[in-house]
Amino acid sequence: MGIFKNIFTWWEGATFGTAMGTIFGGERVGEDALGNIYYEAKKAENGRKRRWVIYKGANDASRVPPEWHGWLHGTLDAVPSEALPSPRPWQREATPNLTGTGSAYRPAGALEAGGRRAQATGDYEAWAPDA
């Protein structure tokens, strides 16, 4: 299927231009713990090399760990494994944004969680424009 898959469908969630840039103009620089692969352009444009990510799974920017986010946006020149110290024992792993999924946070009383709102207590007085 090869090239036809890239032309007529999304390639691992990437657009055709990103897929072709990855194949012909990109150099793989690293991979994060979630399996996302990071690339950098071989040639610089306007003094900077373009950087991008090919997600493993759904395209969701919240799935990019903070250290790789810094690299993608040019805050770090070297890849995070070379530029940053090892994580501290008290640091937690970054988690993706779960909004819109079954695992999203649902507070007590949320209709999606099957809860019921607490009964109104009567301590609320509605605003009226004539008051």
Q: Break the chain into its structural domains and give their ranges.
A: 2-85
Q: Is the pLDDT of residue 1 over 70?
A: no
Residue 54, judged by CB atoms within 10 A of its CB (0-12, 13-18, 19+), counts as: buried
The alpha carbon of residue 40 and the mean position of all alpha carbons in its chain are separated, in whole angstroms, by 18
Write the pLDDT tens digit of every residue in 70-110. Answer: 999 988 888 888 888 888 899 887 777 888 888 888 887 78
Confidence of residue 19 (pLDDT cuts 50, 70, 90): low
Q: Which of 52, 40, 44 is nearest to 78 (CA)?
A: 40
* Collapsed DSSP state (helix, strand, coil) of residue 123: coil
